[in-house]
C-alpha cells in the first residue's frame, strides 16, 4: 500500500506508470517490425528504413520551424489568457506555413538528388515527392502535439500515442507480409498523417477550447520568443538527424552496407527505450523547470527526477546488456556483430539520460546561446569521434564516440547551468 500511495503522490511516477504500458506496447510492435525487416530484407532494409526515419524526424522539427518546445512552454503559461493564446497560435500559424513551404519546395525540386544521397539510388525519388505532399500533416501533427503536451494531458496523450502507433504499424506489417518493401517505406512516410488524424479524432474538443480559428491572423507577434526555440530545435533535431544520416553514409562508404545496417539496428533499439524519457521530460521537466528559481529549488527538482527515473532506467539497461544475445536473436536475427556495440551504446545512453535532465533547463528558461553551444558541441564531437574511431575500431568506433561525447557534454552542461542558476540567485538577492 505504501508503494501505491507513493506512486499516487508522485506526479513523475504517475506519468511513468501511465506511459509504461504505451511505451512497452510500442517497443514490442516496433521491434517485431524490425525483426521482420531484418529477416526479409537484411541489413540493407534496416539501413534504408533508418535513413527514411531520420529524414522524417528532421522534417518533424523543420516543417514547424522548431517551435514545439515553445508551444509547450507558452500554452502552459497562457492557457487562461485568450488574447495571448490568439497571439501564440497566430505566430505558430506563420511559422508552420513558412517551414512547410520551404520543406515542400526543397523536397520537390531536389527529389532525385535527395534520394541518391539518402538511399544510394534515385529509385526512391517518388518517396521524397510523396513526403513533400505530406509536409503540412507533419507540421500540424507536431504543433497539436505541442498543445497537448503544454496542457499536460498525459492520460489522453498516452492513449492517442498508442492508438496512432497501432494503426501505422498495422499498415507496415501488412506490407511486410506482402513482401512489399516499397509499401513499407510508404507506410513509414505516411505515419505522421495517421498520427494527425488520430490526434484530431481524440482531441478535437480540447484543441478547439484553446485554438480559436476566428481569432487567428497572419502575423507573428511572439516571433522573437519563438525564434529562440527555433534555433534550439534546429541544432537539437535537424542537425542531429542530418549527422545520423551522414554517419550511416560514412559507414556505408568506409566499411559496408551491412555495418551501416547493424549500427542502424543498434540506434533503433536505443531510440525505442529512450523514447520513454523524452516523453516524460517534455511533459514534466520543461513545465517544472520553467518555475524553478534559485539553486535550492533547482537541485530539489533535479534530484526528484534523478531518484525517480535513474534506478528504473539503470536496471532496465543492465537487463538489456545481460540479455543482449537473446535480444539480437529475437529481434535482429543474423545481426550477431551488434553484440559488441551494446556496452558502449547503453553506457552512452545512461550518461545522456543524466545530462538530458540538466540540459532541459536551457529549454525551460530559453537559454538560447547555452543550448546552441552545447548542442553544437555534442553533435560535433559525435561526428568527429565517429570519424576518428571508425578507422581504428570499425563500426564499434561510432558507439565509442557516442559514449565519450556524452561524458564531455554532461560536464559542460552541468557547469553552464550551475553558473547561470548561481548568477540568477545572486541577482535576485541584490534586488531584494
User: What are the pLDDT digits (tens) for 205-242?
Assistant: 666 665 665 555 556 667 777 787 777 777 778 888 88
Q: Is the pLDDT of residue 416 over 60?
A: yes
pLDDT, residue 206, reads: 63
20: confidence class by pLDDT, cuts 50, 70, 90: low
Residue pair 248/48 in contact (Cβ under 8 Å)? The answer is no
Contacts for 334 with CB less than 8 Å, ≥ 6 apart: 38, 39, 42
Q: Which three cell numbers stand for residue 330?
A: 529475437
pLDDT, residue 84, reads: 75
**Rounded Cα–Cα distance for residues 406 and 412 (Å):** 10
370: confidence class by pLDDT, cuts 50, 70, 90: confident
Q: Which three cell numbers stand for residue 67?
A: 517551435
**Rounded Cα–Cα distance for residues 348 and 141 (Å):** 30
**Rounded Cα–Cα distance for residues 419 and 188 (Å):** 43
186-195, 273-282, 318-327, 357-366: which has the minimum mean pLDDT? 273-282
Of 377, 237, 338, 349, the C-alpha closest to 245 is 237
Model confidence, pTM: 0.80
Q: Is the pLDDT of residue 320 over 50?
A: yes
pLDDT, residue 10, reads: 47
Q: Is the pLDDT of residue 185 over 70?
A: yes
Distance of CA 234 to the CA centre of its chain: 12
What percentage of the chain has pLDDT greater than the value 90? 36
Residue pair 313/277 in contact (Cβ under 8 Å)? The answer is yes
103-107, 171-175, 277-281, 305-309: which has the minimum mean pLDDT? 277-281
**Rounded Cα–Cα distance for residues 367 and 369 (Å):** 6
Mean pLDDT of 389-400: 94
Mean pLDDT of 415-426: 81
pLDDT, residue 3, reads: 39
Residue pair 338/327 in contact (Cβ under 8 Å)? The answer is no
Q: Is the pLDDT of residue 203 over 90?
A: no
Mean pLDDT of 22-43: 83
Q: Is the pLDDT of residue 43 over 60?
A: yes
Length of the chain: 432
Q: Which three cell numbers stand for residue 13?
A: 511516477
Concatenating the DSSP letter of every residue in 73-125 gives: HHHHHHTT-HHHHHHHHHHHHHHHHHHHHHHHHHHHHTHHHHHHHHHSSGGGH
Mean pLDDT of 255-263: 91
Helix axes 342-364, 257-280, angle to 10 degrees: 40
SS3 category, 68: helix
pLDDT, residue 92, reads: 81
Contacts for 427 with CB less than 8 Å, ≥ 6 apart: none
11-25, 321-335, 415-429: which has the minimum mean pLDDT? 11-25
Q: Is the pLDDT of residue 8 over 50?
A: no
Q: Is the pLDDT of residue 284 over 90?
A: no
Higher pLDDT, 427 or 261: 261
Mean pLDDT of 183-194: 92
pLDDT, residue 289, reads: 66
Residue pair 138/59 in contact (Cβ under 8 Å)? The answer is yes
pLDDT, residue 88, reads: 75
Of 19, 75, 89, 64, the C-alpha closest to 281 is 19
pLDDT, one tens digit per residue, over 126-169 is 999 999 999 999 988 888 777 777 676 666 666 777 788 888 88
What percentage of the chain has pLDDT greater than the value 70? 81
Q: Is the pLDDT of residue 118 over 70?
A: yes
Amino acid at each position: 500500500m505504501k508503494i501505491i500511495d507513493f506512486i499516487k503522490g508522485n506526479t513523475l511516477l504517475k506519468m511513468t506508470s501511465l506511459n509504461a504500458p504505451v511505451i512497452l506496447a510500442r517497443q514490442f510492435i516496433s521491434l517485431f517490425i524490425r525483426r521482420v525487416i531484418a529477416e526479409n530484407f537484411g541489413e540493407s532494409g534496416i539501413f534504408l528504413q533508418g535513413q527514411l526515419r531520420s529524414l522524417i524526424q528532421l522534417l518533424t522539427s523543420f516543417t514547424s520551424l522548431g517551435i514545439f518546445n515553445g508551444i509547450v512552454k507558452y500554452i502552459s503559461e497562457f492557457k487562461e489568457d485568450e488574447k495571448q493564446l490568439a497571439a501564440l497560435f497566430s505566430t505558430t500559424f506563420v511559422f508552420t506555413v513558412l517551414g512547410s513551404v520551404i520543406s515542400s519546395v526543397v523536397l520537390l525540386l531536389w527529389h532525385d538528388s535527395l534520394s541518391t544521397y539518402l538511399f544510394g539510388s534515385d529509385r526512391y525519388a517518388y518517396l521524397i515527392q510523396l513526403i513533400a505532399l505530406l509536409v503540412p500533416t507533419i507540421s500540424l501533427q507536431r504543433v497539436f502535439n505541442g498543445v497537448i503536451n503544454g496542457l499536460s494531458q498525459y492520460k489522453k496523450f498516452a492513449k492517442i500515442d498508442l492508438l496512432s502507433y497501432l494503426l501505422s504499424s498495422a499498415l507496415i506489417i501488412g506490407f511486410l507480409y506482402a513482401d512489399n518493401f516499397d509499401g513499407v517505406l510508404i507506410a513509414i512516410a505516411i505515419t505522421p498523417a495517421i498520427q494527425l488524424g488520430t490526434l484530431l479524432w481524440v482531441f478535437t474538443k480540447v484543441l478547439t477550447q484553446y485554438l480559436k480559428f476566428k481569432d487567428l491572423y497572419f502575423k507573428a507577434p511572439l516571433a522573437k520568443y519563438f525564434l529562440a526555440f527555433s534555433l534550439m530545435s534546429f541544432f537539437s533535431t535537424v542537425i542531429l538527424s542530418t549527422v545520423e544520416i551522414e554517419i550511416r553514409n560514412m559507414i556505408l562508404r568506409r566499411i559496408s552496407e551491412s555495418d551501416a545496417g547493424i549500427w542502424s539496428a543498434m540506434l533503433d533499439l536505443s531510440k525505442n527505450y529512450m523514447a520513454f524519457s523524452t516523453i516524460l521530460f517534455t511533459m514534466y521537466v520543461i513545465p517544472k523547470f520553467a518555475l524553478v528559481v534559485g539553486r535550492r529549488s533547482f537541485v530539489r527538482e533535479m534530484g526528484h527526477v534523478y531518484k525517480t527515473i535513474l534506478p528504473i532506467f539503470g536496471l532496465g539497461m543492465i537487463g538489456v546488456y545481460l540479455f543482449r544475445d537473446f535480444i539480437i536473436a529475437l529481434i535482429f536475427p543474423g545481426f550477431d556483430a551488434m553484440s559488441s556495440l551494446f556496452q558502449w551504446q547503453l553506457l552512452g545512453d545512461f550518461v545522456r539520460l543524466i545530462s538530458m535532465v540538466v540540459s532541459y533547463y536551457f529549454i525551460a528558461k530559453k537559454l538560447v546561446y547555452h543550448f546552441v553551444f552545447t548542442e553544437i558541441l555534442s553533435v560535433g564531437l559525435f561526428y568527429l569521434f565517429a570519424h576518428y574511431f571508425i578507422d581504428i575500431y570499425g563500426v564499434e568506433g561510432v558507439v565509442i564516440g557516442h559514449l565519450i561525447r556524452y561524458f564531455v557534454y554532461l560536464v559542460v552542461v552541468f557547469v553552464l547551468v550551475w553558473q547561470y542558476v548561481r548568477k540568477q540567485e545572486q541577482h535576485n538577492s541584490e534586488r531584494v
